Amino acid sequence: MKVIRLRDGKERSLLRKHPWVFAGSVEKGKADPGETVRVEAQDGRFLAWAAFSPASQIRVRAWSFDEAERIDAGFFQRRIATAVALRQRMAVASDGVRLVHGEADGLPGLVVDRYGDLLSAQFLSAGTERWKAPIADALLQATGCSRLYERSDASVRALEGLEPVTGWLRGDGATEATIREHGWRLTLDVADGHKTGFYLDQRDNRARLAGWVRHFGLKRVLNCYSYTGGFSVAALAGGAEQVVSVDSSAPALARASAHVVLNGHDAARHEARDADVNATLRAALEAGERFDAIVLDPPKFAPTAAHAERAARAYKDINRLGLKLLAPGGLLLSFSCSGGIGAELFHKIVAGAAMDAGADGAILARLEGACDHPTTLMFPEGEYLKGLAILKQ
Ligand code: SAH
């Protein structure tokens, strides 16, 4: 077993059960990509069993802080069984569930979503890449599913020195799935959808939108960055009369329109605009359009804190336009999924946008990702999705 020795004082984060060690903290030791290593403090004390990643700034990701634990197929079976059992206890209101959420489930770099009887996974670290086959077997065993599709085409893989990989890992057949979320039927394709196919993290916020649209009697809804229209279906279910979905992906919009009909709503109540959101908001303002509810769920503008400043301007811009377009008494659901922008900063950005728009509003709720995408106490970096539900004055 190869040993990685840390510099003096650099053992602190592992002692607090934080799973990452950055390149600059390593004093000596080398291993192959994904190889299991024993991480020791300067004085030789055991800290963790971990996966080594020679190409990555995150040089070491801990698998276990227990010296007696062996990192083998059984280890992955246990961790995956625990993650699956946690989701069962959480009683998620859908058969589309995030089963494994990386570090939060003690499996750094592994993301697994279940869509009905189909699994879709991302292997994003050298360690998960190396253990791919035992992980795949453990996933089938823990879920009873027979099909697992791999979507290891996220750009973060490049940081680990890994090429993109996609395709069936176990089983084969149709890559399309239909899930039931809060009683709505939503379809996706694990081969060509975003990420693993769908944005499960917004599940509870879609239900809340439906509830608010009904409660406040909101009629005209603008769903920006709609993807396949999850929030659009929610708004219609809540009784909205007219919903406009805006996205720059034509295939996503086609699915959004299909979802409206699939869920029993009149196609005439939905309009799909294949366009840039920023330009659409400006054009709508110029045309004198007004909406009673607006959802802003943009892609990650700031992947890391280093991008925060430019991202802040982009968030502020769309929120300012959104608040202007919103009728008095209207509802804004505004999100950021940038890990580099914390909830407090996001609040400040939206407040700045409101100032510029000459608007104010009451925060109805602070929103976050669904509980099957947990943030753990020891790994706060896992927190990424935050949002505000604002009732405009
Ligand atoms: N709210 C969605 C998820 C949104 S993901 C849901 O509940 O499923 C972000 C979406 O923004 C993607 O679908 C992407 O195609 C779209 N997008 C990215 N940049 C855009 C832009 N400049 N204008 C319009 N859409 C954009």
Q: Given the structure tokens 């990702």, which residue do they identify? A: 369
Q: H or E element: which one contains 285?
A: helix 277-286
- Tell which atom from ligand 1 comes closest to the C-alpha of 299: 9
Report which protein residue has its CA nearest ligand 1's atom 9.
299
25, part of any domain: yes
- Shared-domain flag, residues 234 and 268: yes
- What CATH number does residue 376 fall under? 3.40.50.150
Among residues 292, 182, 272, the alpha carbon closest in space to that of 229 is found at 272
Among residues 228, 266, 267, 220, the alpha carbon closest in space to that of 246 is found at 228
59, part of any domain: yes
189, part of any domain: no
- Shared-domain flag, residues 124 and 257: no
Report which protein residue has its CA nearest ligand 1's atom 22.
276
Contact 102, 83 (CB under 8 A): no
Cα–Cα distance for residue pair 24/16, rounded to 1 Å: 18
The number of distinct structural domains making up the chain is: 3
Look up the domain containing 52 and give its range. Answer: 2-64
Where a domain ends, among 12, 41, 64? 64
Please work out whether the CB of residue 197 comes within 6 Å of at least one atom of ligand 1.
no
- Shared-domain flag, residues 228 and 354: yes
- Shared-domain flag, residues 246 and 102: no
- Shared-domain flag, residues 77 and 152: yes
pLDDT score at 379 = 94
Three-point CA angle 221, 329, 276, nearest 5°: 35
256, part of any domain: yes
- What CATH number does residue 80 fall under? 3.30.750.80
CB atoms within 10 A of CB 283: 13
Bridge partners (DSSP) of residue 20 are 61
Please work out whether the CB of residue 291 comes within 6 Å of at least one atom of ligand 1.
no
- Shared-domain flag, residues 127 and 243: no
pLDDT score at 187 = 98
- What CATH number does residue 7 fall under? 2.30.130.10
- Shared-domain flag, residues 228 and 377: yes
188, part of any domain: no
Task: Summarize pLDDT for 334-390 with one digit per residue, the tens.
Answer: 999 999 999 999 999 999 999 999 999 999 999 999 999 999 999 998 999 999 999
226, part of any domain: yes
Could you say which residues of the chain have pLDDT below 70?
none
Query: Best substitution site from 248, 255, 300, 336 to test ligand 1's pocket, by max atoms within 8 Å of Cβ?
Result: 248
Length of the chain: 393
Among residues 257, 258, 216, 179, the alpha carbon closest in space to that of 390 is found at 216
pLDDT score at 364 = 98
- Shared-domain flag, residues 58 and 79: no
pLDDT score at 93 = 85
Please work out whether the CB of residue 276 comes within 6 Å of at least one atom of ligand 1.
yes
Please work out whether the CB of residue 248 comes within 6 Å of at least one atom of ligand 1.
yes
302, part of any domain: yes
Among residues 342, 350, 323, 332, the alpha carbon closest in space to that of 384 is found at 342
Assess whether 145 carries a catalytic annotation. Answer: no
193, part of any domain: no
pLDDT score at 305 = 78
- Shared-domain flag, residues 307 and 230: yes
- Shared-domain flag, residues 58 and 142: no
Q: Which region holds residue 106: left if phi is over 0, alpha if psi is between -120 and 50, else beta?
A: left
Tokens of 133: 């086959």
pLDDT score at 102 = 98
Among residues 339, 341, 326, the alpha carbon closest in space to that of 390 is found at 326
* DSSP H helix total and E strand total for the chain: 11, 20
- Shared-domain flag, residues 53 and 100: no
- Shared-domain flag, residues 223 and 166: no
Q: Given the structure tokens 């908001």, which residue do they identify? A: 281
Radius of gyration of the chain (CA): 22
Please work out whether the CB of residue 297 comes within 6 Å of at least one atom of ligand 1.
yes
pLDDT score at 194 = 97
Q: Which residues of 320-357 are buried (b: 16+ CB within 10 A; e: fewer)?
A: bbbbbbbeeebbbbbbbbbbbbbbebbeebbbbbbeeb
Among residues 47, 115, 51, 119, the alpha carbon closest in space to that of 80 is found at 119
Cα–Cα distance for residue pair 210/197, rounded to 1 Å: 23
Q: Which residues of 85-120 are buried (b: 16+ CB within 10 A; e: fewer)?
A: ebbeeeebebebbbbbbbbbbbbbbbbbbbbeebbb
User: DSSP strand E in the chain: where?
Assistant: 2-6, 20-22, 26-28, 36-40, 46-52, 58-64, 96-101, 110-115, 118-123, 147-152, 165-170, 176-181, 184-189, 220-224, 242-247, 270-274, 291-296, 326-336, 361-368, 386-392
